[in-house]
Amino acid sequence: MTSHRSASPSGFTLVELLVAIVIVALLSVSALAVARSAKARAQSAECLAQIRQCGSALLRDTVENHGHLRLSTDPSGDLTNFPFGVIANQLEPELLETRGDLTLMHCPTAPDPGEYHVNCYGVNFADSPYAGVTWVPEESGLMRLTLASVKYPGRFPLVMDSCNAKGEEEFQIVGSTRPGLRHLGKANAFFLDGSTRSLGPAELGRAGFTDAFDCEDSTPQLVALPQP
């Protein structure tokens, strides 16, 4: 009897090899995207935790000043009245001892400022009819915000991701400084009621901002925010 055996290929055909290469490439791209997304979420969580500590420090100072938050926006003014100066004075000693360079005030996704002690998340000095917030200028050059006068503290972002045209963070959100969209198109913020969350373009528009810097590119792009 004659036995018949089916012929088996000795190796991959060119088509099979190309298919395998494509599958490996797709899996690699997918894994890279997942890794980047996980890193972005971790950085955003770290940023929110830092913003909470910075905002809480400002609120502690406000309580000590009988409900008045008094801060300077003038670079030529007293450093102790700058937001970063107030925050630094309120930080716990053990925190300063372990992080003496004050990287706490710096978003992990933002460019290295070189000198962390003069860098800070942006403090929002804008009036907000939406939140019932009005800053009062004082003769000394300071800006004063009275907590008792705020109607909706949960609507007012006091400390948040900030950016200028160079991509650098600034301690105040006025003039050429805008909210910085650093976390998947959103800006992290600390509110006057002590809460923290990420704000997308529509929420930033409702909060009273007209534009923001998109920090996804190396050169931030100014984008218009939806208005209510």
Residue ranges of domains in the chain: 21-224
pLDDT in tens, 127-184: 999 999 999 998 778 999 999 999 999 999 999 999 999 889 988 887 788 999 999 9
Please state, in angstroms and rounded to a whole number, the distance separating the CA atoms of residues 227 and 84: 30
pLDDT at res. 93? 59
pLDDT at res. 35? 60
Please state, in angstroms and rounded to a whole number, the distance separating the CA atoms of residues 97 and 186: 32
Mean pLDDT, all residues of the chain:
85
**Does the pLDDT value for residue 9 go beyond 70?**
no
**What is the pLDDT averaged over residues 99-115?**
80
pTM of this structure: 0.81
Please state, in angstroms and rounded to a whole number, the distance separating the CA atoms of residues 172 and 85: 13
* Percent of the chain's residues with pLDDT above 90: 50
**Does the pLDDT value for residue 4 go beyond 80?**
no
pLDDT in tens, 67-81: 999 998 876 767 778
- For 148-151, which contacts have Cβ atoms below 8 Å and span 24 or more sequence positions? 148/67, 150/192
**For residue 96, what pLDDT band results from cuts at 50, 70 and 90?**
low
